[in-house]
Amino acid sequence: MITFNYLEMKRTLIIVLLLVTGVSKGADMKVGIASRPITPPLPFWMSGYAVRNAPSTEVLHDIWAKAMVIEKNEKNRVVIVTTDLLGLSPEISEGIAQRVEKKHGVDRSQLLLNSSHTHCGPAVWPSLSMIFDFSPEDQRKAVNYNLKLIEDIVDIIDSAFAKLTPMQLWSGHGSTDFAMNRRQPTDHGIINGINPKGPVDHDVPVLIAKTPDGKIRAILFGYACHNTTLGGNSINISGDYAGFAQIELQKAYPEATALFFIGCAGDQNPQPRGTVDLAMQHGKSLTDAVQKVLLSNNLKPIYPPIRTAYQKVSLGFQSFNIDSCRSDILSSDIFKQRRAKLMLEAYNKNWDISEYTYPLQVVRFNRDLTILAMGDEVVVDYSLKMKKKYRNENLFVAGYCNQVMCYIPSKRVLEEGGYEAETSMIYYGLPGPFKNEIEDRITIAVSKLMKEVGVKTSKNNK
């Protein structure tokens, strides 16, 4: 009896020690990482700028899809995919989600798909389809690229699952200041320019996965800035500054995969911009910010459980104006003409063009890290607001998640007008602008998702 009690006490002591040090929790997590280039076969039309009048024929550097699976068990896991693309369509995201659910039982809320919004990537049809005048051959290539993209991303997710090994996650934050607000006030309203006094979010969130012997295998990092150092005159495929940052980080940590996700960059541009050298310079600034985080003593361990929530919210458009559509169809502006044609067709066929379906997602690791993943081109007001509202959380805010089919303005941006509020809708082929309630609807939906993953609304979180 005496021996039994002694063993019991020893076992209890070990368990208490493990819980206090967190060793048992950390050892429970497994991480798998896989990647592959998704550079299109050239020549191929690029997306992002309406001024381009020829397809790309050269590659500056390959663009990539990268997957990181983080798992404790089937109920506690997340699959994070980053892509060097302008944005994904719902058709592509749902195509991937359905296959991954069938193969691995991954729930929709456990799959987070981000695109870097590089303007030097391939056209991902039908996003921004108003800027293209595809020949039947171009159209065939665009559809084939989409199908291959779904296959490639499902493949890397399969590989990441096959490579799951015990790892410890750590997170930290750095900063760099090359992102600048681009909504420049003028006597003629807001233009796309520079606004040094406008709101910015210079946070560089970092999440790393390390093997038990301390080797870094994955570096997930973010920044809220349009991937537009290179302008419309650039017709070489690349990931822009984010592509260079990932390349630099993988040179510095050859055993690691660097995965970039973009934040609420809707109204943020890199400055200065216009050349490959500047794209490399901004990539280097971002790499330096990440490395500073990795070398600091401020990394925080991240533990399970992993809770996830996903919701699609309906966002209303302001009332559709058939008269302006009729005049736009006679406009000399080809983009207005194309949008009007699409809207009139929808109107005459009684398709609902009064609402937009918007995806929101939250991933929370214990009380250690919360990732808010917002769809589309979200303006920076949202990340600043959410970081203030959920200041007790270690919050990463990602934009351009799960789909990129329009801008998401805040109430302020809608009231001010300009590209992100109104004119961008022409190129995206949407009736627009959104109703003023957009920000409130999104804020309420985020609160609901936060609650689902266990975020308590404290006095500080109001």
Q: Which residues contact 34 (CB under 8 A, 6 or more apart)?
A: 66, 67, 156, 157, 158, 159, 160, 163
CA gap 271, 259 in Å, rounded: 23
Nearer to Zn ion, 192 or 324 (CB): 192
Site string for Zn ion, 28-67 (x = CB under 5 A): ----------------------------------------
Nearest approach, Cβ of residue 267 and Zn ion (Å)? 9
Nearest approach, Cβ of residue 420 and Zn ion (Å)? 9
Nearer to Zn ion, 50 or 353 (CB): 50
Pairing between β-strand 395-398 and β-strand 369-374 as defined by DSSP bridges? parallel
CA gap 183, 190 in Å, rounded: 6
Q: Are 238 and 63 in contact (CB under 8 A)?
A: yes
Nearest approach, Cβ of residue 227 and Zn ion (Å)? 9
Q: Is 417 exposed, middle or buried (0-12, 13-18, 19+ CB in 10 A)?
A: middle
Q: Is 100 helix (H, G, I), strand (E, B) or coil?
A: helix
Nearest approach, Cβ of residue 213 and Zn ion (Å)? 42
Nearest approach, Cβ of residue 86 and Zn ion (Å)? 8
Residues 351-410 that bind Zn ion (CB under 5 A): 377
Nearest approach, Cβ of residue 402 and Zn ion (Å)? 16
Q: Which residues contact 408 (CB under 8 A, 6 or more apart)?
A: 266, 358, 374, 375, 376, 377, 378, 379, 382, 399, 434, 438, 442
Containing H/E element for 258?
strand 257-262
Residues 178-237 that bind Zn ion (CB under 5 A): none
Nearer to Zn ion, 87 or 205 (CB): 87
Residues 104-163 that bind Zn ion (CB under 5 A): none
Nearer to Zn ion, 233 or 297 (CB): 233
Nearer to Zn ion, 377 or 393 (CB): 377
- Secondary structure of 382-417 in HEC code, one letter for each residue: HHHHHHHHCCCCCEEEECCECCCCCEECCHHHHHHC
Q: Is 324 helix (H, G, I), strand (E, B) or coil?
A: helix
CA atoms within 13 A on the CB side of 262: 39
Nearer to Zn ion, 377 or 422 (CB): 377
Paired with 408 in beta bridges are: 378
Nearest approach, Cβ of residue 265 and Zn ion (Å)? 8
Nearest approach, Cβ of residue 119 and Zn ion (Å)? 8
Nearer to Zn ion, 377 or 439 (CB): 377
**In the complex, residue closest to Zn ion by CB:** 377
b/e burial code for range 311-347 (CB count within 10 A of at least 16 → b): bebebebeeeeeeebeebeeeeeebbbbbbebbeebe
Nearer to Zn ion, 203 or 377 (CB): 377
- Write out the residues near Zn ion by the rule CB under 5 A: 377
